[in-house]
């Protein structure tokens, strides 16, 4: 008798575990593919030609033997400092012009900035720290590239020289820690390739923040990073409405001896 009851119980359990038959879902409740982009509303195209466009036609851009695009503005090619002025008093830039086609920060001469103003840009800069190591931390070969005079990409000799990571080489200073530390050996040339999307303002209010992408020696270290406001050494970053503005190179005023060469920019 007990065996019979056990069998009935087991059969009941097995029947209860069987998958319930699928119910027919009303058509109005079925999931549908939805495209919320206003460009793609209306009747779905039925031919490949219906989604092909021929205008605008992108302009042709080639690259010369120095790696400079034909539509770039050359800001420094080693010849002179004609594209730059002092950020202190707008007089001629006083940094050292070197025989090897580079320029070096002149200690305590102040920052230099471009004569031209820029919005969104693609910027190429090559820089190096001096081979002779002096100082440590933030005092070792410290400079910076300030886009629109406000948003800094840090230049620093971080080789065997730890510091706070949101202020190390390749950081968006005090905001964006780099994704990698990609520096060349001390005393050798580094490259920064920077894509900067300028912030947008309307009636003095922020509409869209700035974004920056940085490749350091070909390594992605900032990936469309959202800049949180004007760079602050002390305090929180905040946005202030502004328009196009110069690119600025920093004299950190601690005998940094950082050198720059081959600087060009494309307006986006």
Residue 251 · residue 111 · CB < 8 Å: yes
Does the pLDDT value for residue 36 go beyond 90?
A: no
Tell me the whole-structure pTM to 2 decimals: 0.85
**Concatenated DSSP letters of 159-172:** TT----GGGSTT-B
Question: Number of structural domains, the chain?
Answer: 1
> Which of left, alpha, beta for 129 (phi over 0: left; psi -120 to 50: alpha)?
beta
Structure token pair of residue 113: 């900035």
Per the structure, the complete domain to which residue 79 belongs is given by: 73-267
Per-residue confidence (pLDDT) for residue 41, from 0 to 100: 86
Is the predicted pLDDT of residue 218 greater than 80, yes or no? yes
250 lies in a domain? yes
| Cα–Cα distance for residue pair 173/90, rounded to 1 Å | 25
Residue 44 is classified by DSSP as P
pLDDT in tens, 235-267: 999 999 999 999 999 999 999 999 999 999 999
Of the ranges 22-36, 66-80, 169-183, 199-213, which one carries the lowest mean pLDDT score? 22-36
Tell me if 137 is assigned to some domain: yes
Domain with residue 91: its CATH number is 2.60.120.560
In a domain, 32, yes or no: no
In a domain, 31, yes or no: no
143 assigned to some structural domain: yes
Cβ neighbourhood burial of 66 (10 Å; 0-12, 13-18, 19+): exposed
Let me know: does 111 contact 248? Beta carbons within 8 Å.
yes
- pLDDT tens, residue by residue, 107-157: 999 999 999 999 999 999 999 999 999 999 999 999 999 999 999 999 999
Q: Determine the pLDDT at residue 28.
A: 57
Q: What are 128-141's pLDDT values in tens digits?
A: 999 999 999 999 99
Structural domain contains residue 59 = no
More confident residue, 26 or 182: 182
Helix and strand totals (H; E) in the chain: 1, 15
Band (pLDDT 50/70/90 cuts) for residue 39 is confident
Residue at 58 is within a domain: no
* Residue 30, in any domain of the structure: no
């Amino acid at each position: 008798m007990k065996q019979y009851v056990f069998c009935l119980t087991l059969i009941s359990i097995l029947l209860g575990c069987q998958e319930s038959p699928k119910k027919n879902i009303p058509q109005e409740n079925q999931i549908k593919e939805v495209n919320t982009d206003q460009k793609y509303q209306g009747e779905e195209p039925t031919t490949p030609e219906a989604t092909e466009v021929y205008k605008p036609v992108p302009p042709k851009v080639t690259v010369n033997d120095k790696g400079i695009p034909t539509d770039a503005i050359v800001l420094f090619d080693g010849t002179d400092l004609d594209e730059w002025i002092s950020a202190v008093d707008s007089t001629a830039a006083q940094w050292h012009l070197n025989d090897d086609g580079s320029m070096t920060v002149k200690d305590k001469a102040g920052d230099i900035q471009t004569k031209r103003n820029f919005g969104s840009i693609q910027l190429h800069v090559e820089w190096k720290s001096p081979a002779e190591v002096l100082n440590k931390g933030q005092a070792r070969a410290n400079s910076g590239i300030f886009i629109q005079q406000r948003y800094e990409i840090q230049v620093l000799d971080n080789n065997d020289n730890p510091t706070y990571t949101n202020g190390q080489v390749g950081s968006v200073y005090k905001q964006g820690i780099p994704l990698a530390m990609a520096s060349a050996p001390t005393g050798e040339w580094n490259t920064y390739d920077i894509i900067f999307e300028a912030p947008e303002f309307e009636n003095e209010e922020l509409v869209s923040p700035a974004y920056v992408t940085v490749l350091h020696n070909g390594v992605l270290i900032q990936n469309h990073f959202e800049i949180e406001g004007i760079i602050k050494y002390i305090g929180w970053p905040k946005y202030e409405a502004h328009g196009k503005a110069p690119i600025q190179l920093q004299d950190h005023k601690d005998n940094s001896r950082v050198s720059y060469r081959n600087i060009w920019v494309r307006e986006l």
